[in-house]
Amino acid sequence: MANHKSALKRIRSNEAKRLVNKYQHKTTRNAIKKLRELTKKKDAEKMFPSVASMIDRLAKKNVIHANKAANLKSGLAKHIATL
């Protein structure tokens, strides 16, 4: 167990941040799945900017790697193009 006041606070703040990151990551993954399941191009094009924004936010906060974010967005754009 931590002995310093700052270490105890760091434990608390890390846990809070972990939960927020986990929630946002799961929400983004669900949005990606929903986008991939869409069959109408118009609906997919409408949804793509919000999903791309979610992915960018995760990359900015280092929840996912920047390259992974780029790969996800590229894959989604290809998927929409083939609809």
Q: Which residues contact 56 (CB under 8 A, 6 or more apart)?
A: 69, 73
Determine the pLDDT at residue 3.
Answer: 86
Determine the pLDDT at residue 35.
Answer: 97
pLDDT at 12 over 90: yes
What confidence category does residue 41 fall into, taking pLDDT thresholds of 50, 70 and 90?
A: very high
Instruction: Assess contact for 80 and 44: CB atoms under 8 A.
Output: yes
Query: pLDDT digit string (tens) for 47-78?
Result: 999 999 999 999 999 999 999 999 999 999 99
Task: Show me where the domains of the chain are located.
Answer: 40-83
Q: Look up the pTM and report it.
A: 0.88
Determine the pLDDT at residue 1.
Answer: 74
